[in-house]
Amino acid sequence: MKNFTITVIHASFLEDGETPKAVAKVTTSGLDLFQATEYAYRYTNNLDGSWSMKLGEDANDDVEVLAPLIQHNGKAYGLRSTSVGDVMIVDDGEGFVDTFKVAGFGFEPCDPISYDIVDAQTFSTTSVMA
């Protein structure tokens, strides 16, 4: 059992030319790798509320929202749920870092990807390879 920090990257459903984006950082404690990725998946899904707007049963203090909420006609909307094809970068803080893709069932190892981190205050973008 370990403590993990998991960066959730939305890499599915991209428009042409769009880069995957980091949307959340999930902190877990006392879980194994499988449990930690399942936890990150669960709490970046909109099942009963909104994970990114911290509403209902989906609100979780272990989830740091990294991406700005979607703005449309002056109203803020939450981010989509994590889906098949999205990516999780798992870091145990002790030298283990690995990348997993959300599969139809569970998670499968994948190559590191390039993704953007968008500053929620300024909307400036930083590209990262991990």
Inter-residue contact 20 to 11 (CB < 8 Å): yes
pLDDT of residue 127: 78
Question: Per residue of the chain (130 residues), what is the pLDDT tens digit?
Answer: 899 999 999 999 999 988 999 999 999 999 999 999 999 999 999 999 999 999 999 999 999 999 999 889 999 999 999 999 999 999 999 999 999 999 999 999 999 999 988 876 666 777 777 6
pTM: 0.91
Alpha helices in 3-112 (DSSP H): 33-42
CA distance 40 to 28: 8
Task: Give strand ranges (E) for the chain.
Answer: 2-10, 21-31, 49-50, 55-56, 63-65, 70-72, 75-77, 87-91, 97-102, 107-109, 114-118, 125-129
